[in-house]
Structures are given as C-alpha cells and as structure tokens.
Structure 1
Amino acid sequence: MEKGHHSHFINRGLSWLEFNQRVLDQALDKDNPLLERLKFLCIVSSNLDEFFEVRVAGLKQQVQTNTVALAPDGMSPKSELAAIAKRARKQVDDQYRCWNQEVEPGLAAENIKFHNFPEVPESERAHFEKFFHERIFPVLTPLAIDPSHPFPQLLNKSLNIIVHLEGEGLNTDLAVVQVPRILPRVVPFANQTDEQGHDFVFLGSIIKHYVGSLFHGVKVIGAHLFRVTRNSNLYIDEEEADNLLHAIEEELRHVNRGAAVRLEVQDDCPDPVAHRLLEIFNLGPGDLYRHHGPINLTRLMPLALSIDRPDLRDKRFTPAMVVSLNEEADIFWHIRKGDILMQHPYDSFQTVLDFLGQAAEDPNVLAIKQTLYRTSSDSPLVASLIQAAQNGKQVTVIIELKARFDEAANIKWARLMREAGVNVIYGIAGLKTHAKAMLVVRQEGEVIRRYAHLGTGNYHPSTARLYTDLGFLTAREELTSDVATMFNILTGVSKFPGMRELLMAP
C-alpha cells in the first residue's frame, strides 16, 4: 500500500459526527442524572448547528462550483455530503428518540413537564391567553408570501411558523410569522411552587394556537414550525482588507443571511408545505430534517442550568487550589520555586487568573503579553489586561478576530482594550493564532525576569471548569525566552529564528 493512500485517512466530516456521537452517548447514558442528560442533548443540537453552518455549507459550495478535487480520504465533496446526510440523519433520529422515550418522560416523572398548548389544562388557559395578548402579540408581524410580498429574509437559526390560509380573493395561501428571539422559548405555568413541580409550555405552540388572531377574515388551515440554517462562513481577503476588524464586522452583518443549507420542521408539517419551503430556500429533499419533538433543543439549555433540582444533577465539583497565596508568598514566588503544572478542571483555573491579576497590580511588572482566542462574556482576564494598561504597563494582546462564532465578541474586546491603551494585534494574515500563551516581564532588583504561562485550553474561566486541559507556569529562562521569541514573531516583522526548547507551528 503506497504512502498517503486514501485508506490511511478518516473523512473529516464523518469523524466530526462521531465526536458528536460521543456527546449524544452521554445523553443516552442512564447512569447520568436527568438534567445532565438534557444538557448533553442541547449540546448535540448546538454542535450540529455549527457543523451545518460551516462544514456542510462549505461542501455545498464546492458541489455548486463543480469542485472535483478529492479529500485525503478519497471522497469527493458530493460523496461526502451524501455520507454526512445519512450519518447526521441517524444521529438526529437517535437524539429525538432519547428525548421522547427517556429524557422527557424521566423529567415528567420528576414533575418537570413540557407541554404543547393543546395539552394545557383549563385552569391555565386564561393565564396563557393573557400572556399571548400582552407579551407576544405586540411583537408579532404576519408576512404574506405573494408577488408583492417576497419571501422574508429569515435570520439564520431563527424559529418561524409557516401559516396555510384559505379564503376568498386571496393573492396567496401562505404567510410566515417569526417567533421572537427576545422571548423565552418555554413559558412556565402561573403561580406554580417548587413543591408542585415545573410545568412549561413551548412558546411556538402558544403562537400556533392563537395565530388566527393575526389574520382577519381568512381561515387558518394549518400552522407549522420550521427553522432554516444558513451558511455562516466568513469570506475575507486578508491581503486586500485595509482594516481586518472592519472587514470582519462587515461580513458578520451578512452572515445571518447566507445561503440556506438545512431546513428543520416538526413531523406534523404536511409534505406539500415542506416541499414549498424547500423550493423557497433552494434546497433539496435531502436537506429536510423532520423532528418528533421541539425544534432546536439548544434553547432548553437555560432551563437545564437553572431548574433547582440538585438531585437531578452531577454533584458540584470544587477544583483544587494549586498554590496558597499570602503576603510572603505571591504567585511569582511560587513560580520561581519551581514549575507549576495544572490539569484543569481538577486544578483550579484561579491560579491563572491570579497570575495575570497580580501582574496587573504589581508595580515591579513592566510588560504583559498575551494571546486571546476565546474568553468569557465578562472576562476577568480582559479586565486585568485593561487595568494593567491603565497602571502604566506595556500591554500587548494578540486577539484572534477569526475565532469561529466568537468574532463579534472578540471585536468588542479588541475595541475596549485599544481604548484603554492596550496594543492590540490581530495575528498573521492567512493564519489563525491558536496558541494559548502569556508572558510577564518583571523587574526584580537589578535583574529582569520573565514568567510565562502556556496552556492547551482557552483563557475562558467558565470552560476551564468543564474542559480537560493542561496549564503550565514557569520562570525558566530557556522556556520564557522562546515564548518571548514567539510573541516577537507574531507582533513584528521577522523570519523564524528557531527556538531552543519549544516547538511552534506552522
């Protein structure tokens, strides 16, 4: 067998779906608590959304442009799309089978119940009618579909209702009502105590029930929920873009309106309606996914995290503190004493936060350099970097504006830091900066010493409590000088000079 034969390789898209299967396996595992299983179902949906927005969208574009180049595994874009559709469909079927046969009935047995509107008891009907007319109806807009009302440009991953109408003198028999994103996807029963349980009604089913109030003088034959996923790839010529930040911002304005790549409907949607939607979105039958259950389980994640039932969750885990800080022994003392290796989430990420936080306040620290790929929406690391700049330190941050689906957040952080006096660099054109590195330069008497942190995970305090990663703190000169070289390459203009201890890719 010759070297590099396609049989040596696993298809990229199919490999990713097997990764997502391992997430689904956690939802299927009956040894996991129910609310944890619900969380895993939500993650499966979120992962699939990104997969269709990026990988499937890219393959569809290759097919449309008649790309015939084979992947390393020997698959053409067309054959890979067919294999992905088959595997993804089975995965989605298994996901909803888990929801319908295990997770939802299990939660119902624990008095956590999800209802469609026809199942709502009479005692709650008045509450939901009032909720609809006071909270939902004012923000709804019926959109007719006819020659003078072209099909609306529905946002990526938004939930919508296609309404089938009947009446005399109509120019069309279809209309669309968008389900407002600003409203919660499930609405609780009124005046329910924790002892009574938790009952919720899906927002889409409430709107479906009352949708006739939006159409006067015509008959609603049917109303059906659907959701469209769009191409979310960003197309930026970094060599031509005068300002990368502005170029990405401009692309982000269009990303919610990219070409459709997937249509999701509930299983009660009639074939003729589903086929008309496929035609409208220029999709084929293979792009249609029918769900026996709520469309977009991802929107149940807030409930999975907020319902106060600790007996239905994993026991709360408290990570170990790696070092003990006091006035005599600050973080720099501990690092000088010896390298510190951390395994997150078992070792607390607080040590990394303390490293940067103390560097920002320490009058002996002269400079801080850091890479940022993803961080939290209320990042204490960004706050420390801004504080360091305000304290007169030389602060440089290499922020990756092209971090998938975090582009808008990183643009916001870039602006905030620049306004505070931080030197913000956007990396190297044509490449993504995935390195997780931090360098602190400190005056210690007559000596300038460098301290470094290297990690495999993002500088993200929340995910550091979930994901398994390694972190490493050191003051060894042979390592910190290599880290300094890396930052100089990323921020300046120079050829790669080589490193003594570290490896840098590419």
Structure 2
Amino acid sequence: MTLDLNSSQLYFNRELSWLQFNSRVLAQALDEKLPPLERLKFLAIYGTNLDEFYMIRVAGLKALFKARIQETGPDKLTPSEQLEQIHTYLHKEHQVLESCYTSIISELHTHSVHVKNYDVLNPEEQLEIKEIFFNEIYPVIIPIAVDATHPFPHLNNLSFGLAITLEDDAKNIKHGLIRIPRIISRFIQLGQTFVPIESVVEHFASELFPGFTQLASTPFRVTRNADIEIEEEEADDFLEILQEGLRSRNKGSLIRIELMEGADIDLLNFLLSHLNLDENDIYSYKSLPLNLGSLWQIVGDKALSHLVLPTFSPKTLPPLDSENIFEAIDKQDVLLYHPYDSFEPVVQFIKQAAIDPDTLAIRMTLYRAGPKSPIVKALIDAVRDGKQVTVLVELKARFDEENNLRWAKALEDAGAHVVYGIPGLKVHAKIAQVIKRKGKKLQSYVHLATGNYNPSTAKIYTDISYFTAKEEFSNDATHFFHFLTGFSTYTKLDTLFMSPVQIKPKLVKFIEKEGKYGKNGHIILKANSLVDTDIIKALYQASQAGCKVDLIIRGICSLKPGIKGISENISVSSIIGKYLEHPRIYFFKNNKVKCYISSADLMPRNLVRRVELMTPILEENLTQKIEQILMLQLADNKLRWELQEDGNYIKVPLLGKAVNNHAVLEQYVNKIHDKTKKETPDYVSRLASRILKDN
C-alpha cells in the first residue's frame, strides 16, 4: 500500500505546536525545584513570547480570515479553526498560569520579597508612595476625557493604562482613560516590596480629574498587529520607508485586550464599543499583572540575584586563551559552543582586526547586534583607521528594526559601506570576513555562526561559532559579500551552501542518501523549528527505509513521530532549560561530511525566503565535538521533553543517572579551564572527551 505523505493527518499545525512550546516554558515556571526568581523569569518569557505570538501569528490568521482564505498549511486547518483552537487552548491554560504566579509570589514572600497593591501597604509605605506619585508620576501621566468633544484616542500597540468611570457634582456620568507611559517603571520599588503602578494610579485617579468622583476603574492593555508590510520595490529610500513602517506598527488592527477580572460591565462595554473586539479577544486575569514581560524588573534586581540559578562565567579555552586570535586560526580551525565557550573571542576577532595595521578589509552581516554593541564600535574604529568596512545591516529583523537603523546610520556616518538588505529577502546569515596583508599575499579569515553578533544574548543562548582560514571558505565568503553588495543574481557557493538556492536541496539530498543506509543510517537534526514539508517528507521516507532519525527541535514541529509505517523510527525531543537552545546542527552518520552548522531553521521562510548559510565542518576533531554534544543532549533526562504521536510533549522520565546537559557542559568547561593552567593540552583534550562520554 502506498502511503500519501501529503495527507493532513501527518502534520501538526504550526501555531498549535508553538503553543505547546510556550507551555513547556510555563512548565519551567511551575518547577518548584527551581529558585523563585528563576521561575518568575520563565513566566516573564512566557508572557513576552505570547505577546509576539499575538502581534504576528494571531494577527496574521485574523487577516487571512478577513480575506476569506481557507487553507493555510499542510494540516489543512482553516484560519477560523486555528483561531478557535488557539482561543480554547489559551483559556484552558489560564488557570495554570494564575496558579503558577500565585505559587511563585507565595514563595517569594518566604524570602521577604513582596508584590503588593497600594491599598494593602502600611501607612508609612503609602506615604512614601504618595510622595513618589506626585513628584515622579503625576507630571508625566496622561488623563484623557472621552465625550462628544473629546474622541476616544488612538491606543498604540501594547498600550497600558486605566479606563475610568467618573461622576461630577450634578451626577453626570463621564468616561475617561489614564495612559501610563512606558517611561514609568512597571513597579514602584520600596526595598524588596514591588508595588504595581496601576494600583497607585487607580488610588490617585481623582487627582487627575479634579471635581469628579471615581465610580469604577479597570487596568487594561491592548495588542495590535505589529507585522510591518514594506513594498520594497516602491522604496526610493529604504531607511525612510522602514521608519514609516515602524510608525505604522502602532496603527495595526487591534487583536487583543487584557483586563483584570471583575471589571465594571458598563466600563467594559465602553471600552469594547470603541475598540471593535469580540469576546474571544478578551483575556481577564484574576491575580496576574498585565504584561507578564514586565516581571523582568523584579527578576533583574541585582539585590535578589541569590534567588535565581547561579550565573555561569563563560571561559576562553585553548587555543584562544593566550594567543593572538589570528595566529591561532592560522594553525587550526576553531569551534566554540556558547555560552560555555566565551563569546569574547568573536568580539576580539573584530577588535583586533580593527587596530591591526595589516588589516585591509572587514566585512560582516548584522541581524541583531543589540543596543550596546562593542562589535559595531570596533567597526567604526576600523573605518576611522582607514580600513575598508562593509556591513550588511538587516533592517527587516523583526522588533530589532530601530536598533539596526541606529547602527546603520552610525556606520554610514563613520564612512562604512552599509548595505540595507536585499529586496524581497531577509539576510539572516551570520558571517564575518577579515582580509589582511601577509607579506606579498592576502590572507582571509572567516567567522561563521548559528547565532547573532550580540554579546548579551550570547550569554543566555546556546550557539556555535566557527573560525577558519581555509582558502575554500575564504573564496566563498568573498563571493557571498560580492553577492550582497552587487547586482548579482542568486549565486551558488562551492564549499558553503546558501539559501534560497542551495540549502534545502542539499538537506533533502543528504536525508535521502542517509535513508538508503536503512538501519545503519542515522540522522540528527537540531533546530528551533521544523515546518518545511519537503524536509518532513524526506524524513518520513528515511524512517520508512529503517533509518534512525533523532530530531532536537526546541519549538515548532509539524512532523508527527511514532506513526506506524511512516515515522516509527523518528524521535522528536525539545530541550527547555537555563539556556535558550539556538544552534542549527545537521548530522548525517554516513555522509562524506557528517556535520553542518547553519543559521537556517527548517522552515520555508529560512530555506526559501531568506539568505542563509550552511557550513560544513571538515575537521574530524570538531565533528566529534559536535557529535558528543548532540549525544549528550539526547541523553538528557532533566530538561528534555519528547513529542508524542498525539501532539503532546512528555517530560523524559528520570531513569538512572541524572543528566542535565546544561549543567554537565558548565562543569566540563570549568574543569577544562582549570586544567589548562596545570596540564598539557593533550591531557586536557583527553579529559574533555572523557567528561562528555561519561554523560
């Protein structure tokens, strides 16, 4: 019997799969073995994730529904069916969320950390808050009357404030709003007590409307469609049109309102009459603060650092610990696994190049550089020192557009050649090239990575960095940057692979080839998401041939494992823990080149609509290092979840020795770092191998 691999029964819906991922994040917040602020951190991440999901994914589904588009993916669910299932899923999870927050706050109380509304503070605390209100909040807060002469105002995306019902001396009823600007901290802090700003504003609301008595009020928060549509072909000035797009983000259609339970019904009707939302767009909370992402203010309090997991200090190991980085790369290729291996060598790669008189040119791509980038500052220094600097700054990096605009302008003002992207495609590749003069010849050095050039996120994201001076990589890097800066049509590289032309066909070919080895074949794919149907079909066929397939997919997975005759040889794992798993690693046991790292996830957007790079790891020792990391993750029984045929994820049972891959790798790097001061490099290498194999 021939099985139809196009059947909708073989694919999970990507949106519902994402919700499962965020539930695994919430499960970390529910873990009472973690310190309380570590749990609160995961609650903040859950909320931030959900905000973005609504701004982009739910907004997109609503737009498809309005356009009367029916099918949207291989699972064949219509936009309306997806919206209904999303609504049902999130409202069902609501009680878990409330219970989780209550549990964490209760535990924080045992550590003398409190979250209290204004009305339960003692008189001394209330007096202190009153002084803060009139000195720091009253001058910047915005009271808004709404009546025949005062129209309901436009509310920007993620606007937060209070709706209020007022009565004057003549018993006339009025409605108004109080906007709470983002420049005001979400919580007013009194020592280790955090007071929600809305409870303070609510108490002093009458001060903002003199002559009126407050009858009812409710905090609220709105979410809008934040996906920016840019007609690049019509853009004479891409910077200008992007800036206009950023302004339009606050004008997108409303898709959600968040409120506190027990809101006055007339006040609620007043809000809804102006916001054009239906019942499914209303989310009411009993105890949760609006904007869970704002809990980072409490998590980030340095005085409370003892209530999170111990901070790990990344290490710089041989051969980059004592030599000039370029001299080290001349001798051998170097592979780093962040955040265990420090990101500092990547920063030094640019910094040392910027000040070296032998450096002729520096070229790199920037997707998310962060607000305070030492790399961008080094590039500016290099320009001022007379070096040729070429930077592609991807202005379409979602929610980092403003940062990237600022860096692009700073680089351009300094004299760098700045490219703002390619029409119709996002450039998501992570690559830097340094060209030096060595005697009468030119020598090129290349850095390729799975993650962004952002030192801040490199401390909390796991990612791979790869340095090489090999000629074949350098030639491809040069061709790649010529493609970015010139009028070239899609080009093919010889050693590296580039999307949208090369990566997907190569991956499909490698999967098909490994599948032919049957039971002797083994494929391991590690990525953030697996959605692409051609990749999934190839994996199903490899499984049908008897090939073992291990997928480590942190987030969305549309593939269904465990289906008899189709995917019983496929396992899908998801690792959620202290660090955000971010590398893309593609491993094929019997391939001539076994291991590849990439900036590209297994999604159509990455493989078809973005410029990405996939890098072969040619050195056997580096391949072994990556293989050991993958095997360690597949052995993890503390942070790993397994996807079931019904779409649910089950935490891997703790059988035998406990293996937390994040903790093991921290210990591993610390031991290697300590041994480098006492032992020979050969001993250190043997120790490293033994530590990983033992786990």
Shorter-chain TM-score: what band? Answer: over 0.9
**Distance in structure 2 (CA, Å) of the matches to 1:93 and 1:250:** 40
Residue pair 1:36, 1:313 contacting (<8 A) in 2 also = yes
Note the alpha carbon deviations across 1:469-498, whole angstroms, 9 max, x for none.
111000111122112211111211223443
Give 1:389 shift: 1.0
| 2:303 partner SS | coil
- Higher relative contact order by CA 8 Å / sep ≥ 6: 1 or 2? 1
**Distance in structure 1 (CA, Å) of the matches to 2:256 and 2:458:** 32
Give 1:346 shift: 0.7
Note the alpha carbon deviations across 1:415-470, whole angstroms, 9 max, x for none.
00000111100121111111000111111112211110000001100110111111
1:425-444 correspondence runs (5 A): 425-444=419-438
Residue pair 1:42, 1:301 contacting (<8 A) in 2 also = yes
Correspondence for 2:522: none
Give 1:499 shift: 2.1
Note the alpha carbon deviations across 1:47-105, whole angstroms, 9 max, x for none.
111111111111111112222243221011111111111222334442232111x1100
Residues 408/170 of structure 1: CA separation in 2 closer, same or farther (3 Å cut): farther
Q: Which moved more, 1:169-178 or 1:406-415?
A: 169-178
| 1:226 partner SS | strand
**Distance in structure 1 (CA, Å) of the matches to 2:150 and 2:171:** 13
Correspondence for 1:305: 300
Note the alpha carbon deviations across 1:312-365, whole angstroms, 9 max, x for none.
1211201120346689x3111100111001111110000101111111111111
Residue pair 2:320, 2:345 contacting (<8 A) in 1 also = no
Consecutive unaligned residues of structure 1, counting only runs of 5 or more, are 193-197
1:173 aligned onto 2:174: yes
Correspondent of 2:347 among 350, 353, 359: 353
**Distance in structure 2 (CA, Å) of the matches to 1:357 and 1:404:** 27
Give 1:127 shift: 1.6
| 1:371 partner SS | strand
Residue pair 1:278, 1:285 contacting (<8 A) in 2 also = no
**Distance in structure 2 (CA, Å) of the matches to 1:138 and 1:109:** 36
**Distance in structure 1 (CA, Å) of the matches to 2:128 and 2:304:** 25
Correspondent of 2:100 among 89, 95, 98: 98
Correspondent of 2:482 among 478, 483, 488: 488
| 2:418 partner SS | strand
Correspondent of 2:312 among 308, 317, 323: 317
Correspondence for 2:555: none
| 1:239 partner SS | helix
1:286 aligned onto 2:288: no
**Distance in structure 1 (CA, Å) of the matches to 2:424 and 2:320:** 42
Consecutive unaligned residues of structure 2, counting only runs of 5 or more, are 501-695
Note the alpha carbon deviations across 1:274-311, whole angstroms, 9 max, x for none.
23322311110000001122111211212211241343
Note the alpha carbon deviations across 1:219-251, whole angstroms, 9 max, x for none.
211111000011111111011111111101011
Correspondence for 2:144: 143
1:392 aligned onto 2:386: yes
Give 1:254 shift: 2.1
Residue pair 2:38, 2:308 contacting (<8 A) in 1 also = yes
Q: Which moved more, 1:173-182 or 1:363-372?
A: 173-182
What fraction of aligned residue pairs are identical, expressed as a percent? 40
Residue pair 2:333, 2:466 contacting (<8 A) in 1 also = yes
1:195-234 correspondence runs (5 A): 198-234=192-228
1:337-486 correspondence runs (5 A): 337-486=331-480
Residue pair 1:357, 1:384 contacting (<8 A) in 2 also = yes
Amino acid at match of 1:321: T
Residue pair 2:339, 2:460 contacting (<8 A) in 1 also = yes
Give 1:217 shift: 3.0
Residue pair 1:265, 1:274 contacting (<8 A) in 2 also = no
Amino acid at match of 1:153: H
Correspondence for 2:511: none
**Distance in structure 2 (CA, Å) of the matches to 1:202 and 1:417:** 40
**Distance in structure 1 (CA, Å) of the matches to 2:321 and 2:125:** 57
**Distance in structure 2 (CA, Å) of the matches to 1:385 and 1:319:** 24
Correspondence for 1:62: 64
1:296 aligned onto 2:297: no
**Distance in structure 2 (CA, Å) of the matches to 1:93 and 1:233:** 30
Correspondence for 1:157: 158
Give the structure-2-normalised TM-score.
0.69
Residue pair 2:169, 2:211 contacting (<8 A) in 1 also = no
Give the structure-1-normalised TM-score.
0.95
| 1:451 partner SS | strand
Correspondent of 1:81 among 77, 80, 83: 83
1:231-246 correspondence runs (5 A): 231-246=225-240
Q: Which moved more, 1:200-209 or 1:159-168?
A: 159-168
Residues 496/209 of structure 1: CA separation in 2 closer, same or farther (3 Å cut): closer
Residue pair 2:217, 2:264 contacting (<8 A) in 1 also = no
